[in-house]
Amino acid sequence: MKDQPITLNCNGKLLYLDQPAVMGILNVTPDSFYDGGSYCTESAILHRCETILEEGAVIVDVGAVSTRPGSLQASAAEEELHLVQAISAIRKHFPDTLISIDTYRADIARRMVTEYGAAIINDISAGTMDNRMFETIAELNVPYILMHMQGTPENMQQHPAYNDVMTDLIRFFTEQIFRLRQMGLKDIIIDAGFGFGKTLDHNYEILNGMRQLEIFECPILAAVSRKSMIYRLLETDPQQALNGTSVVHTLALLQGADILRVHDVKEAMETIKIVQKYLRYVLS
């Protein structure tokens, strides 16, 4: 539990992080690593969104490009088409929803915010895949999820290496956050990028060192849901990784995570409730 809760201005709506929040994943791609192809029709999108909200998530993170290891970049036109379909439907049926857009393209970020009311931009590349992203985000003045990735989705798992993974992450975030602050952006969310250019050991070293990221005084997002750091360790697959995900969510919360980005909202909400109860006794 942090001493000073953080408030984010999400395109005119305030998100008060007095306790950890859940971001529900809505992938409208045919090839995402866990649920690819499940939400490609309007009815499926709306049903998924309704489930996310009913189970307690405060943010719906919509992505239209798969970023699984080895994936190739989809075209901007294809990404935009899928996003417009999804967000238009959500806006019509769930108008008060806080929508995050999972994109690394500045033009798409701009259109989704200005024309469709998206509230947060979630960029896996932290501005490294589109050199106009930072200036675009600064102009839009919406919360920006700054994620660390070594390489690109196509090559990021080809022998990732660090001098010291936490030191390298802190150096990276220091540089990127300084640039964004110089541009006037206030609301920055840090994502260490579990699974994005990291070995299994790198991921657990980051999990153990997450509290070091509190030096930036930004909300910390943990995106570990059903990832290979869980299912490969357990020698299973993404479909059987829910129990392991809940365990890693617990560890991330104990290491200061403010937002969990998840496939399974109900289970994440239960994890938060238990950890919050536990921490009240630890800190009393």
pLDDT of residue 100: 98
Distance CA 188, CA 179 (A): 11
Which residue positions in the chain have pLDDT lower than 50?
33-34
The reported pLDDT for the residue numbered 34 is 47
Q: How far is CA 61 from CA 104, 242, 276, in A?
A: 14, 19, 24
Q: At what angle do helices 42-54 and 76-93 cross, to 10 degrees?
A: 60
Tokens coding 139 = 């102009």
Tokens 């196509």 found at = 154
- Active-site residue among 227, 232, 273, 277? 227
What is the pLDDT, as a whole number, of residue 35?
54
The H-or-E segment that residue 245 falls in is helix 242-254
Question: Which tokens hold the place of 201?
Answer: 């050991």
Tell me the CA end-to-end span of the chain in Å, nearest whole number.
11
Place domain 6-283 in its CATH homologous superfamily: Dihydropteroate synthase-like (3.20.20.20)
Place of tokens 């300084």: 178
Give the residues across from 8 on adjacent strands: 15
198 catalytic, yes or no? no
Q: Residue 153 in contact with residue 67, Cβ under 8 Å?
A: yes
CA distance 152 to 68: 10
Q: Are 200 and 233 in contact (CB under 8 A)?
A: yes
Query: Which one of 48, 105, 226, 261 is the catalytic residue?
Result: 261
Look at residue 267 in the predicted model and tell me its pLDDT: 98
User: Which pLDDT value is given to residue 40?
Assistant: 74
**Rounded (10°) CA dihedral 117, 119, 124, 128:** 80
- The pLDDT score that the predictor gives to residue 160 is 78
Domain ranges of the chain: 6-283
Is 226 catalytic? The answer is no
